[in-house]
Amino acid sequence: SIDDELRWDGELTVTRHDRETGTTFVIRIDSTRLGPASGGTRAAHYPSIGHALADAGKLAGAMTLKMAVSDLPMGGGKSVIALPAPRNQIDAATWTRILDIHAENIDKLEGNYWTGPDVNTNSSDMDQLSRTTKYVFGRSVGNGGAGSSAHATALGVFEAMKATARRRGLGTLDGRTVLVQGLGAVGGDVVRLAAQAGARLLVADTDPQRLEAASLAGHTVVPAGEVLRTPCDLFAPCAMGGIIDSAAAASIPTMAVAGAANNILTDAAAGEVLRDRGVLCAPDFVANAGGAFHLVGQEVLGWNEDDVVERTRGIGRTLDEVYSLSEERGITTEAAALMLARARLSPASTAAATS
């Protein structure tokens, strides 16, 4: 409920409603402990404003952890634009008005929050936002930005898949069955990388066009509703979050999970159930940090593309650290990754905060 959401533990919630378009805007700053909050702008049609607030809060929290575990000097935040209808039903003029209002809101935060692309927003949308506010990552390259973060995210997810398969005793991806849910900007690239590594690909999407392309490329299509019942060696959720709850965790026929979606597990209990069944799960805020390396690395830290690739490849090593800690402590991989992130966020960790 909205009452529960307003008892949120983060730093700031900003909301605004535009009566003309029927759009509600939410920006949530979870933490500025390690730097200005950052996280993308998600546009979607939510069942209620409470759902939009909840989504923004969970996603902002994930950004805090992602930045901390990735050693990036940023905090966590997220924007949710609660649309009056699904994105594909919003006309161009309405969308521009929506982006302009969102940009005004961001600008009022005076750099305490930096946005970027997320589900249903892209580099041209970032270009439009940047006409009103400068606190935007991921503008198109021609407009001075780092461009789409999807390739870097996919590379990091691929590294996470390899590290997770290896640790689970599956060896390399060669000959392994990998199920990719969501063939969008990230998932499409993940499919390509996994196929190059010799994996047998099962693919699912709700968009028939994307499925057709994947099927032409020789991959096996799985109905979107069958994903959680389809046997595979490794499952890569690259669509939406909240895909694995305790019930799904108890039955999903796979050995390992590593994907791009933010907040893959609905809660900590789902992670416990996976662990009890020996399903090794790459914490998403570690696995999908390639996009943050791409955007923050290039636009804040002055990295070039090679630096982004090098840091993104390091996601495999970070996961190895997470897996070792989880084995040593007998805790879930999610809890182990949280420990690493929180160590950096703790007040005692002044070296991190001042570096």
Point out the residues that are catalytic.
Answer: 78
Closest CA to 80 of 13, 11, 151, 147: 13
Name which of ligand NAI, K ion, ligand PHE, none residue 38 binds, using a CB cut-off of 5 to 8 Å depending on partner kind: ligand PHE
Q: From residue 315, how far is each of 39, 148, 284 by CA, in Å?
A: 19, 19, 11
Contact characters 100-129, K ion, x per CB under 5 A = -----------------x----x-------
- What, of ligand PHE, K ion, ligand NAI, none, does residue 137 touch, CB below 5 to 8 Å by kind? ligand PHE
The answer to whether residue 297 forms part of the interface with ligand NAI (CB under 6 A) is no
Give which of 108, 100, 109, 62 is closest to 81, Cα–Cα. 100
Which residues from 170-209 bind ligand NAI, rule CB under 6 A? Answer: 181-187, 204-207
Q: Which does 56 bind (CB under 5 to 8 A by kind): K ion, ligand NAI, ligand PHE, none?
A: none
> Helix 150-167 and helix 185-196: axis angle, to 10°?
50
Which one among 15, 130, 149, 312 touches ligand PHE, defined by CB under 6 A?
149
Tokens at 209, concatenated:
């066009």
| 113: contact with ligand PHE by CB under 6 A | no
Pick out residues in 40-99 that bind ligand PHE (CB under 6 A). Answer: 40
Q: How far is the CB of 291 from ligand PHE (least distance, A)?
A: 4
Per-residue DSSP letter, 11:
S
Q: Which of 37, 82, 119, 178 binds ligand NAI (CB under 6 A)?
A: 119
Cβ 150 vs Cβ 189: under 8 Å: yes
- Strand stretches in 53-150, DSSP E: 75-82, 113-114
Amino acid at 140: S
* Binding flag, residue 228, ligand PHE (CB under 6 A): no
- Name the maximum alpha-carbon separation found in the chain: 56
Q: Tell whether residue 118 is a contact of ligand NAI (CB under 6 A).
A: yes
29 near ligand PHE, judged by CB under 6 A: no
Q: Which of 83, 150, 222, 234 binds ligand NAI (CB under 6 A)?
A: 150
Burial bucket for residue 88 (CB in 10 Å: 0-12, 13-18, 19+): exposed
Q: Which is nearer to ligand NAI, 36 or 187 (CB)?
A: 187
- With residues binned 3-state (H G I as helix, E B as strand, rest as coil), the percentages for the chain, rounded to 5, are 50, 15, 35
Q: Which of 36, 39, 61, 145 contacts ligand PHE by CB under 6 A?
A: 39
Site for ligand NAI in 223-242 (CB under 6 A): 224, 238-241
Which positions ≥6 away from 145 have C-beta within 8 Å? 123, 126, 127, 130, 136, 137, 138, 139, 299
Q: Specify the amino acid at residue 323.
A: Y
Q: Which is nearer to ligand PHE, 288 or 318 (CB)?
A: 288
Out of 291, 332, 334, 338, which residue is the one contacting ligand NAI (CB under 6 A)?
291
Q: How many Å apart are CA 225 and CA 340, to the nearest integer?
A: 35
260 touches ligand NAI (CB under 6 A) = yes
**Nearer Cβ to ligand PHE (105/288):** 288
| Least distance in angstroms from the C-beta of 185 to K ion | 5
Mode of pairing for the β-strands spanning 75-82 and 37-38? parallel
Q: Which residue has the tokens 């047998």?
A: 200
Residue nearest ligand NAI, Cβ-based: 184
Q: Can you give the binding site for ligand PHE, defined by CB under 6 A?
A: 38-40, 116, 118, 137, 149, 262, 288, 291-292, 295
Q: Can you give the binding site for ligand NAI, defined by CB under 6 A?
A: 118-119, 149-150, 153, 181-187, 204-207, 210, 224, 238-241, 260-262, 288, 291
